Amino acid sequence: MLQILIQGMLLSGLYALIAVGFTLIFSVGRTLNLAYGAYLMLGGYLYFWASQSLGVPKSLAVLMAMAFGVVLGILKFRLIVKPLKGDHIAVEISTLILAVVLQAGVILIFGDSSKILLPIVGGVIYVAGAPVTYNMLIATLASWTILLSLYLFIRRTDIGRAMQAVSMDTKGAAICGIEPDRVNLITWALSGGLGALGGVFFASYTQLAPSMWVGPLIISVAVVIVGGIGSIIGTLIVAHIVGFMEVIVVSVLAPELRGVFTMGLIILVLVLRPQGLFGREEL
């Protein structure tokens, strides 16, 4: 029981970290950024290249990955999202195409065999029979810290309030002197950085592979659909629902049904409560 609790907390923390950048774009820009998984992938690969090939210190490599994610987010907003102005379908299709193109690019540079990231912090302890690696523990703590800081940033700063304002009413924000494009740009940059960071942790959990962008994308979409919102607190809650459900399914029921239950939850929520469990548009 305690084991499930610990393992559930760890996995959920990771999922929350993965989903938060995606949620941000969904709530501010009203766009499902289907290339979000590619930020994670590229963040992970950049970290791998910097820390394991070049020998850059790990903390610096994490920062490099985040900076790279920020640049990607900005480029994507400038080159794709803004020119396509509010045409959500076109943006979503083009982001999906972008993800596939980036995958091909990664294969070209790194080849298609998967790679393992060294843990950012090595070592393992056993708590109540559950193995807890320091890496997972750090990922969970980082996830909580980042989500809390993000929450405070959004609630307490002018830029954060501007992001909320744009997410709720673009015209209302504009007549307060806020430039929605600038706020969107900041949001995309932030989302890119968070995605890359999530990618470093996700990859250090699993592996680096050119196809690795799909899994986190599904988790993120699940969190947004089940939560129905772009709320940070909602993201945290739903990430825990998905994470715990997965650990319970794997531990108590059958491990091969892991993904099925997540999908089942998505479909169930779509049918019974299309607006999502929390169903309102806030940040």
Partner 1 sequence: MSYLEIKSLSAYYGKAQALSDISLSVEKGEIIAIVGANGAGKSTLLDSIMGLVRQTGQIDFDGSVISGKSTSNIVKSGIGYAPERFNLFPYMSVKDNLLVGAFTAKADTAANLSQVYSLFPRLAERETQETATQSGGERQMVSLGRALMTSPNLLLVDEPTIGLAPKVCQEIAVSLRRMRDDFGLTVVITEQNANFAMTLAERIYVLEAGKMQVEGTVEDLRKDNRLIEAYFGT
Partner 2 sequence: MKYAKGLGLSLAVSLLASTALAEIKVGFIGSLSSDTGLSTLRGAEMAIQELNAAGGVLGQQIALVTADTGEDVTEGVKAYEYLAETEEVDFIISGSIDDVSLGWLPRMQEYQIPTLDTWTSYIGIIDMVIEDPETMAPYFMNIASDEALATLYISFGADVLKAKMGWESVVILAEDTAFGGAITGLVTDALGPVAGIEVKDIITYDINTVDFGPIFSKAKATGADFIYQVSSVNPQVISSQYVKLQVPMPMTGVNVAALGMEYWEDTGGAGGGISTLSPVPSVGFDLDPVSAQFVADYQAKYSTRPSMPHFNGFNAYHGLKQAMAAASEAGGFQDVKAWNAAMLKQDLKLEKDGKLWLRYGFWQHGEVEPVTGRTYPQNGLFDLSPPYEDAQPSMVVIQWKEDGTVGVVYPFEYANTELELPSWIKN
Nearer to partner 2, 177 or 255 (CB): 255
Report what 200 binds from partner 1, partner 2, none; CB cut-off 5-8 Å by kind: none
170 binds partner 2, rule: CB under 8 A: no
In angstroms, what is the minimal distance from the CB of 239 to partner 1?
21
Among 153, 159, 215, 282, binds partner 2 (CB under 8 A): 215
263 binds partner 2, rule: CB under 8 A: no
Among 58, 82, 115, 161, binds partner 2 (CB under 8 A): 115
79 binds partner 1, rule: CB under 8 A: no
265 binds partner 2, rule: CB under 8 A: no
277 binds partner 2, rule: CB under 8 A: no
Task: Tell me which stretch binds partner 1 (CB under 8 A): 55-63, 158-166, 210-218, 250-258.
Answer: 158-166
177 binds partner 1, rule: CB under 8 A: yes
What is the spatial distance between Cα 246 and Cα 261, in angstroms, rounded to a whole number?
A: 7
- Contact pattern for partner 1 over residues 91 through 130, marking x by CB under 8 A: ----------------------------------------
Residues binding partner 2 (CB under 8 A) = 3-4, 7, 10-11, 14, 48, 52, 107-108, 111-119, 122, 124, 129-131, 133, 135-136, 202, 205-207, 209, 215, 246-247, 250-251, 254-260
